[in-house]
Amino acid sequence: MANWTTFARKTSAAVLSVDTWLPETMPEYAQGFMYMLGSLTASSFVVLILSGVILAANGPASWSYNGPMRFVAATHFWAVQAFFFFMMLHLWRVFFTGAWRGGRHETWLLGALAMLIAIPTAFTGFLINGDFYSQWNAVQAKDGLNALGLGWINLPNAGQMVGMHLVVLPLTLSVIIFGHIVRVRMKGVVPPYPERSAAHVKEGQ
């Protein structure tokens, strides 16, 4: 009878396998541009993390008076746009190709959860800009959360938002994205739907 140690050994062997991360061949159907959207989303996330670390190391207001930091802040901003752009395209692609087939439902759920966590991650980053517009949005969002019974989330508190944006949410999102990528590497990319035969199409008519 299998136990948790057997499961852990088999899972670790699959995750750490060279064939899992560095396959020699790829399916022909997975070589199109639409199948690159997940990689583009992950690449944008890497740029987000690197630029965010640089900004955090130089202080939350360094981009307002430092030229190089202003460039890093712009890179961070556009990486956010690219991340959500490619993630939404990736979401639509996996939805219309039935990416949950073949025991891949956990992969799909992790991807959907990553999208849900990414939204407050981006929003808290917007709130720590410190300008009037971000403060106004913090107050309005606070009122909305109060109406939902979530008033314990203090959006106008800049210190709390910095901690959420720099530590809690990025770490959570990183773990979920890593788990999603691991599942993709282990299960492979979902194949297209099988073509309907001519006889089947005729019967359907």
CA 44, CA 58: separation in Å to the nearest integer? 21
Q: Residue 113 carries which side chain, given as an amino acid letter?
A: L
Q: Are the C-beta atoms of residues 128 and 161 closer than 8 Å to each other? A: yes
Tell me the pLDDT tens digit for each residue of 81-124.
Answer: 999 999 999 988 888 888 788 788 888 899 999 999 999 999 98
Q: Tell me the whole-structure pTM to 2 decimals.
A: 0.79
| CATH code of domain 32-192 | 1.20.810.10
Tell me the pLDDT tens digit for each residue of 134-190.
Answer: 888 888 888 888 888 776 778 888 788 888 899 999 999 999 999 998 888 887 787
Distance of CA 113 to the CA centre of its chain: 8
Closest CA to 106 of 5, 11, 6: 11
CA 199, CA 179: separation in Å to the nearest integer? 42
- CA angle centred on 73, ends 112 and 58, rounded to 5°: 110
End-to-end CA distance of the chain: 51
Which residues touch 137 (CB under 8 Å, ≥6 apart)? Answer: 126, 127
